[in-house]
Amino acid sequence: MSIKEFVQKFYKSDALIDSEVLKTYLHPEVIIEWNSSKGFIELNHDSILELANELSRAYVRSKVRISHIIAEDDLVSVRYSHYVKTIENPREEMLLAHFATIWQIKDDKLYRGYQMSQFS
């Protein structure tokens, strides 16, 4: 599987709201540097898993729609929109945010992430 296919598989899975699935994609030394609309956040392996656990408490379904994905060497750049369905209203899909992320892949895992997001 190419690194581009690996990243596509990651975003098509339930990893963003299921920490057990997420563990299979993360390198033990993973770091995400995230520039969000609320400021800069740096996440490590444990804090990424905790974020997935928090999301799973609020959302029953997560869906990512990728608009752009480019791979070169050990890097994959992906632009996507993240949609969720809440526990309170599981029939309605809601746009959570738009993202642009560059992933560095190491040992067939997500190793470094450089991410920007914007609420719609």
- Determine whether domain 3-119 maps to CATH 1.10.760.10: no
pLDDT at residue 120 is higher than 80: no
Q: What is the DSSP letter of 25?
A: T
What does the pLDDT read at residue 56?
94
What does the pLDDT read at residue 37?
86
Q: Average of pLDDT values for 70-78?
A: 98
CA angle 108, 67, 117 (to 5 degrees): 80
- At 108, list the tokens: 């067939």
Phi-psi region of 107 (alpha: psi -120 to 50; beta: other; left: phi over 0): left
pLDDT at residue 72 is higher than 80: yes
| Number of neighbours of residue 118 by Cβ within 10 angstroms | 11
- At 93, list the tokens: 């899909």
| Residue 82, C-beta contacts closer than 8 angstroms, at least 6 positions apart | 16, 62, 63, 64, 95, 96, 97, 98, 99
pTM for the whole thing?
Answer: 0.92
pLDDT at residue 46 is higher than 90: yes
Q: What is the DSSP letter of 87?
A: S
What does the pLDDT read at residue 119?
86
Domain residues of the chain, as ranges?
A: 3-119
CA angle 89, 95, 99 (to 5 degrees): 145
Q: Could you read off the pLDDT of 78-103 as tens digits, one per residue?
A: 999 999 999 898 999 999 999 999 99
Average per-residue pLDDT for the chain: 96
Q: What is the DSSP letter of 88?
A: S
Q: Could you read off the pLDDT of 29-41 as tens digits, one per residue?
A: 999 999 998 899 9
